[in-house]
Amino acid sequence: MGKIKSEFWQRVAVLLKKRRLKIADLARLSSVDQRAISSGIRLHTIPQSDTALAISDALGVSVRFLLYGIDDSGTDDELEQAIEYCRNSRQASQVLKLLQFLTPRQYAVLLDVFETWGLVIGETGEINLSGEKKRLP
């Protein structure tokens, strides 16, 4: 947990420097008290969830990135490609191959897209796509 604490604020500091912002700028952009940000940086405390969200929004990154250094920026593009691929192919076997490469979030969104297409996704993971009944991995 200590590593996450220090890395959160290290990532904030790197982003501030990269964007040529000061703590006062971050406080103004995030509506988080400047003293709270300063003490978090100094004491390496993990902020409360609403503060972490406000800081991440102000810096244009995810809370996940600030906590763990995991960059989510490409996931939406990858998801759009997956949806487009499914829309174009409509071949269950091709779609099933694609699903193994998606993150859990992408997988959930894709299942929502399937439902908007009128597809029924059973509890056992079966879908009906282009007349082929296949089991999801």
| Report field, pTM of the whole predicted structure over 0.75 | no
* Cα–Cα nearest to 113, from 77, 84, 73, 72: 84
Q: How many domains does the chain have?
A: 2
- Which pLDDT tens digit goes with each residue over 74-98? 555 655 666 666 666 655 566 666 6
Please identify, among 19, 46, 68, the residue that sits at the C-terminal boundary of a domain.
68
Domain boundary among 35, 50, 68: 68
Residue numbers in the chain where pLDDT is lower than 70: 1-5, 71-102, 111-112, 114-137
- Write out the residue range of the structural domain in which residue 35 sits: 2-68
Same domain? For 57 and 115 the reply is: no
Cβ neighbors of 34 (< 8 A, separation 6 or more) are 23, 24, 27
Task: Kindly state whether residues 11 and 64 are assigned to the same domain.
Answer: yes
Both 111 and 55 in one domain: the answer is: no
Query: What CA–CA distance (Å, rounded) separates 80 from 18?
Result: 29
Q: Give the C-alpha separation, 38 to 69, whole Å.
A: 21
Who contacts 76 (Cβ-Cβ below 8 Å, separation ≥6)?
A: none
In terms of domains, do 60 and 97 share one?
no
